[in-house]
């Protein structure tokens, strides 16, 4: 995600989905899924999440593995150990050279150029290979980085935007990233309004009946004034999602960023989750 509020704010109402939707089917219904998003080259945070999550069968990553942080190669290498289902976020696409830099902030552009100069060729190719479209998973769950209507740039950050995007998905549940804010936008099965709810920590949420957009928050750069890494676990047998937070050594990441002379604003914000 970029800090810049782009023109794709949910005001436009395109009459068709421009980007292709891919479908993935998994065998078995007793799988446990680790859901992560917006790692942003923060390996220390990613490692803490993986250790805290315990046993899981699959990783779903909602994009932006790189950008902002000091360890892009380390994050990709660790993530690939799990053969994840991984979407491309806007920072991933920019580093891969598939997206222009005009809509990014100055700091984000600086970090994209910095990452390009340091990432390995094989990891760059991996970023290029990740889908930038929405994925429909078995059990009625859609994965997307931004929104179903605009998978790369649109922020689902308001009830109106969530409501407008309901017409672009065929599944009850959509998991999205990009905003770095853990939240649920819920349309009750017997209601007309979309409700905004804070995503509770350590409280299972049933993924049935209601239509929901769920953002698990950011692993590597939380922005909800909680510096702990954020993620979620899905139990497909119970059809439930549990939001989790875990502390990590923020100072260790900051030291690496200072040593690399990365922008001070990006270093400071990690301490406060902003």
Reply yes or no on whether the pLDDT at 13 is more than 80: no
Task: Please check whether residue 2 is in contact with residue 111, taking contact to mean a CB–CB distance below 8 angstroms.
Answer: no
Percent of the chain whose predicted confidence (pLDDT) is above 90: 85
With 0-12 / 13-18 / 19 or more C-beta atoms within 10 angstroms meaning exposed / middle / buried, residue 139 is middle
Q: Which domains does the chain have, with CATH numbers?
A: 22-272 (3.60.21.10)
- CB count, 10 Å around CB of 163? 17
Name the pTM for this structure. Answer: 0.91
Instruction: Give 209's pLDDT tier (boundaries 50, 70, 90).
Output: confident
Q: Which of 164, 130, 126, 125 is nearest to 62 (CA)?
A: 130
> pLDDT per residue over 93-126, tens digit each?
999 999 999 999 999 999 999 999 999 999 999 9
Distances from the Cα of 200 to the Cαs of 31, 33, 134, 159, in angstroms?
22, 18, 25, 18
> pLDDT per residue over 129-157, tens digit each?
999 999 999 889 999 999 999 999 999 99
- Tally of CA atoms within 13 A in the half-sphere of 77 that contains its CB: 8
What mean pLDDT do residues 62-83 have? 98
Reply yes or no on whether the pLDDT at 183 is more than 50: yes
Percent of the chain whose predicted confidence (pLDDT) is above 70: 89
């Amino acid at each position: 995600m970029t800090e810049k509020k782009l023109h794709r704010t949910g005001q436009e109402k395109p009459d068709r989905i421009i980007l292709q939707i891919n479908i993935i089917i998994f065998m078995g219904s007793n799988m446990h899924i680790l859901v992560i998003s917006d790692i942003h080259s923060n390996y220390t945070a990613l490692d803490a999440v993986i250790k805290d999550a315990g046993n899981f069968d699959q990783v779903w990553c909602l994009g932006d593995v790189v950008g902002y942080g000091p360890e892009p190669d380390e994050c990709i290498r660790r993530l690939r150990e799990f053969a994840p289902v991984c979407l491309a976020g806007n920072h991933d696409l920019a580093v891969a050279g598939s997206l222009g830099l005009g809509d990014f902030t100055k700091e984000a552009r600086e970090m994209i150029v910095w990452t390009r100069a340091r990432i390995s060729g094989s990891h760059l190719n991996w970023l290029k290979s990740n889908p930038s479209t929405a994925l429909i998973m078995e059990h009625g769950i859609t994965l997307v980085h931004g929104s179903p209507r605009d998978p790369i740039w649109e922020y689902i950050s308001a009830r109106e935007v969530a409501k407008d995007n309901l017409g672009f998905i065929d599944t009850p549940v959509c998991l999205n990233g990009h905003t770095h804010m853990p939240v649920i936008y819920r349309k009750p099965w017997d209601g007309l309004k979309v409700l905004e709810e804070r995503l509770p920590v350590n409280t299972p949420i049933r993924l049935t009946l209601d239509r929901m957009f769920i953002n698990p928050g950011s692993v590597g750069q939380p922005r909800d004034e909680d510096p702990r890494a954020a993620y979620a676990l899905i139990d497909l047998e119970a059809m439930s999602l549990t939001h989790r937070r875990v502390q990590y050594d923020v100072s260790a990441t900051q030291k690496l960023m200072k040593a690399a002379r990365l922008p001070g604003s990006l270093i400071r914000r990690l301490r406060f989750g902003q």
